[in-house]
Amino acid sequence: MLKAEGGIGRAAMQSWSLRGGIRFGYRAAGLALIPLISFILLIALYQYTVPDRTAPEARQGVLDLSRWNFGQKSFIALNGEWNFYPTEFFTPDDFRNGRTANASSYSAQIPNAWYSSIPADKASQTTYGTYRLIAKLPETGGQYGFRVSNIHSSHRLYVNGLLLGHGGNPTTAASSDYKAENKPYSTFAWVQGPELEIVLQVANFTLSNGGGFEDLYFGSQADILRLDQIRFAFEFFGLFILLLFGGYHLSIYVMRLKDKAYLYSGLYFLTLMVLVVLDGDKLVLQLVPGISNEFYHKVYNLGGFSNIAVLGIFLHHLDGKLLTRSHLALLLSPIALYLGAVLALPYEAYSKIGNLPWGYVTLVVAFYLYRAVRLGLRKDGQLKQKESFLVVGMLISVTMILLVGFLYSIGLVQTDMGRRMAFLAVIMFMNSLLALRLTSATEQTEKLTEQLLVRDKLKDEFLANTSHELKTPLHGIQNIASYLLDGKAGVLSDRQRTELALIHDTSTRERPG
């Protein structure tokens, strides 16, 4: 009987393993399909989001595009040497009327937006001034577009004497009239003739360390419109996906309060959503133009840094050995202090430390990654091997978000497409991790159920065999008791008759039918 039990058990386990392997294959294919399609789509659209790197650069305030074919080639970045007039606001009329003849100027290398990782140049350190560039175009002229992405911290854009765009209200002093605004936008102009004059008035009384600008794109109207549409679609897609998954995970937590992993993952997606819609093309500023610069930066910092804190709490919940309570207290205390400063101080005050907080959270994520790799190699935690692999993949993707974002901000990469792909990877890895944990729990329940069914079947077989073995002696006991009760072996006393009757009745009830 033990051999039979072992054979049934092994057969059940082999059947369960086969079904589990098939289910895992289907799940892996299903989870990877949508991210794979998204990656392919992003790569296909990549060429439409970056400027043509073969374009010439400006020299001493002049950019020669007379041989550039905008019909066959993509848009370009207006990089190179612009003329800069410090502490002066000149209009196109001033240049035409010769009022700038005696004004001091020098060449400013664009892009020159200030970041804490690189020194601010002379132009970006100036609180206000005027940039000017002359572009020589093909004589045919045409309809052109400009894409403004990042100008610190207020500006007016003139093209051939016309005011085509502005951000905030630049002034010559930090007065009540000064208004900071750094919102991406596109503008268009019909250019007739071989020359294009660009005048950019810039004022920065917000960032005490430096200002400057970058990512001023120029191209045909069709190319700039397509760039706008692709960027908006990317931003809106990110908003929708993160809001969807954040709400979905929180809904699961509400229905299953014991599993706080879904609470922390939902909060992580929502804080990541805040970072996405306020960074890059700053979708929220396009959808809600009335948001002040102060409020924008506060929400951006609160969302970005709380995102890293929630990620740490999520990892601690997954496995206490991955991140201990002491690790969390040590790593998250500086983040909590900085968030307190963000809430209590104006942007001009806490922005003086530049990108130092972002450098710190990058190191924090690197420590998360180190602990995850260490735990996976030691295999002494609660996480299974597949779960450890997904955690490591998720943390590598988070690191790529921070790293690519930093490299893009200082101009070492031409596009933040890598960061967008990393966003998708984070979503894929985190959802795969939670799905794997849920299915593992479900499979464990199914395994226990099948084991109980096997045990129940073995119990029935045991009872059947036992009943057969007991049937013969019980029948003999019943016959003997009947024989004695009939008085065939002699006269019985009342006590003997009572006890024999009890034996007869009991054996009759217990005998299998």
Report if pTM > 0.85: no
71 and 203 in a single domain? The answer is yes
Q: Does some domain include residue 54?
A: no
Q: CB under 8 Å to 442, separation ≥6 — which residues?
A: none
Domain end call among 434, 469, 491: 434
Q: Are 454 and 8 in contact (CB under 8 A)?
A: yes
Report the mean per-residue pLDDT for the chain.
84
- Answer whether residue 57 is part of any domain: no
Q: Based on the domain organization, do 13 and 126 belong to the same domain?
A: no
Same domain, 473 and 343: no
Q: Kindly state whether residue 55 falls inside one of the protein's structural domains.
A: no
Are 353 and 467 part of one and the same domain?
no
pLDDT at 316: 95
Q: How many domains does one find in the chain?
A: 3
Does 422 fall in a domain? Answer: yes
**403-413 as b/e, with b when 16 or more CB fall inside 10 Å?**
bbbbbbbbbeb
Final residue before a domain boundary, out of 399, 434, 469: 434
- 256 with 381, same domain: the answer is yes
| The pLDDT of residue 283 | 86
305 in Cβ contact with 402 (< 8 Å): no
Residue 219: predicted pLDDT: 93
Does some domain include residue 52? no
Does 220 share its domain with 359?
no
Q: Is residue 197 located within the same domain as residue 266?
A: no
**pLDDT tens across the length of the chain (513 residues):** 444 445 544 555 455 455 555 565 566 566 667 667 777 777 777 778 888 888 999 999 999 998 888 878 889 999 999 999 999 999 999 999 999 988 999 999 998 876 544 556 788 888 999 999 999 998 777 899 999 988 988 999 999 999 999 999 999 998 889 999 988 999 999 988 888 999 999 999 888 767 788 879 999 999 999 999 988 888 888 889 899 999 999 999 998 888 899 999 999 999 999 988 888 788 888 888 888 889 999 999 999 999 999 999 999 999 999 999 999 999 999 999 999 999 999 988 898 887 889 889 999 999 999 999 999 898 888 888 888 999 999 999 999 888 887 777 666 666 677 787 888 888 888 888 888 887 777 777 778 888 888 888 887 777 777 766 666 676 777 777 776 777 777 777 778 778 777 777 776 765 555
Question: Are residues 448 and 349 part of one domain?
Answer: no
Q: Write the CATH number for 367.
A: 1.20.1070
pLDDT value for 222: 92
**Closest by CA position to 390, among listed 373, 370, 374:** 373
Structure confidence by residue, pLDDT tens digits, 370-406:
999 999 898 888 888 888 999 999 999 999 888 887 7
74 and 117 co-located in one domain = yes
**10 and 67 housed in the same domain:** no
**What tens digit of pLDDT does each residue of 242-265 get?**
999 999 999 999 988 888 999 999
User: Which residue range(s) make up the domain with 512?
Assistant: 1-46+435-513
Report the distance separating Cα 271 and Cα 254, nearest Å.
19
**pLDDT for the residue 1:** 46
Residue 119 maps to which CATH number? 2.60.120.260
Residue 378 within a domain = yes
Give the model's pLDDT for residue 5. Answer: 47
Q: Is residue 238 part of a domain?
A: yes
Note whether residue 335 is domain-resident: yes
Helices 356-378 and 385-409: crossing angle in degrees, nearest 10, is: 160
Shared domain check, 102 and 33:
no
Helix, strand, coil percentages (3-state) for the chain, rounded to 5, are 60, 15, 25
Last residue of a domain, one of 204, 226, 248: 226
* 380 and 262 within one domain: yes
Residues 112 and 213 sit within 8 Å (Cβ to Cβ) = yes
Return d(Cα 405, Cα 403) in angstroms, integer: 5
The residue written with tokens 């400063």 in the block is 341
